[in-house]
Chain A
Amino acid sequence: MIVPIREVMALSAVLFAVGVFGFLARRNFILMLVSVEVMLNAVNLSLAGFSQHLDDPRGQVLALFVIAVAAAEAGVGLGLVIALNRNKPGASVADLTQLKG
């Protein structure tokens, strides 16, 4: 079954835009990280679409690497969230203006 690449790219662009909006507009730090995950999913979608379009498994391998890096990013990001929350409970993103805890 062949899905046209144009539709896949359009969906990927829309999902990425939603992710950008969420990352820029949300104030909850965890939900900002989730928006990053939405953006990574959009990229994975376009990678899989091009992989099918070009009949080449390298795109899917690259998408697998993106998933691995997303897992690493989730681990580090949530570790940061826990550290921040222990230092300043209930702080929003706008209050976190210094890196030194």
Chain B
Amino acid sequence: MAAASVASAILAVTRKNPVHSMLWVLALFLHVAGIFLLLGAEFLAAVQVIVYAGAILVFYLFVLMLLDVPDNDSQPRFGAHWPLAALGGIGFAVLIWLAHSGAPTPLETDVALGPASIVGNGPPLGSLRAVGIALFGPFALPFEMASLVLLAAIVGAVVLARRSAKS
């Protein structure tokens, strides 16, 4: 599943047709949702499928088809600097790998300081109950702030899309 997600990600950033690329991104999101399930994060997997694959991707596809992007067969899909970009990506991966392999494994460090102790040994990790207790307990204020961010984004998107229509 990990190999499939990497393959679909690479296909997604290299396809020429934007719609094909979007469909590969959809495959990637579904595979990542499967990995969430393997990690025991059931609610996160459901949110991934519904919000990412269902809402955000459809939004992207909608705009893509609304704008009627011309087939840019004449110009290359990558800029002239794409080897530099590939180097940057690989360098970033190597950096993460180095940072990860140099760090001590977190098993030795003390774990489960905050909300885990609230949850205790009741509901299993990743169930809707555990996530909900954490979300509305210690994370209530960030939760409200997330809703404010979404509201600001809605207003901003409407303003951005309307002002140019008037001019």
Within 8 A of B (CB), among A30-83: 30-31, 33-35, 37-38, 41, 44-45, 48-58, 60-61, 63-65, 67-76, 78-83
User: Given the known A-B contacts A3-B38, A21-B85, are A53 and B153 also in contact in the complex, defined by CB atoms under 8 Å?
Assistant: no
- Say whether, besides A54-B112, A57-B134, A31 and B13 are in contact (CB < 8 Å): yes
**Closest chain A residue to B50 by CB distance?**
A67
How far is A65 from B146 in the complex, measured between Cα atoms in Å? 7
Contact among B52, B70, B112, B153 with A67 in the assembled complex (CB-CB below 8 Å): B52
Contact of B88 among A24, A26, A71 (CB under 8 A): A24
Chain B neighbourhood of A15, CB < 8 A: 5-6, 9
Q: For chain A, what secondary structure do more than half of its interface residues adopt (helix, strand, loop), or is it mixed? A: helix
Interface flags for B1-40 (1: CB within 8 Å of A; 0: not) read: 0100110011011000010011001001100100110111
Asked if B131 contacts A27 (CB within 8 A), the reply is no
> Per a CB cutoff under 8 Å, which of B13, B36, B63, B157 touches A26?
B13
* Shortest Cβ distance from residue B11 to the other chain A in the assembled complex, whole angstroms: 10
Nearest chain B CB to A74 CB, angstrom units: 5
Q: Which residues of B contact A56 (CB under 8 A)?
A: 111-116, 125
Contact of B75 among A71, A81, A92 (CB under 8 A): A92
Whether A33 contacts B60 by the Cβ 8 Å rule is yes
In the complex, A28→B161 CA distance in Å?
Answer: 19
Assuming the contacts A11-B35, A57-B130, A60-B43, asked whether A74 and B59 have C-beta atoms less than 8 A apart, the reply is yes
- Is A14 interfacial (CB 8 A cutoff)? yes
Closest chain-A Cβ to B69's Cβ sits at a distance in Å of: 7
* B154, closest chain A residue (CB): A75
A-contact 0/1 string along B111-136, CB 8 Å cutoff = 11111100100000110001101110
Q: Least Cβ distance of A20 to chain B in Å?
A: 4
20 chain-A/chain-B pairs, Cβ below 8 angstroms: A14-B6, A15-B6, A16-B96, A18-B89, A21-B86, A27-B79, A31-B18, A38-B13, A48-B44, A51-B39, A58-B139, A64-B47, A65-B142, A65-B143, A67-B48, A69-B146, A71-B55, A71-B56, A83-B160, A101-B167
Q: Which residues of A contact B (CB under 8 A)?
A: 1, 3, 5-22, 24-28, 30-31, 33-35, 37-38, 41, 44-45, 48-58, 60-61, 63-65, 67-76, 78-83, 85-87, 90, 92, 94, 101
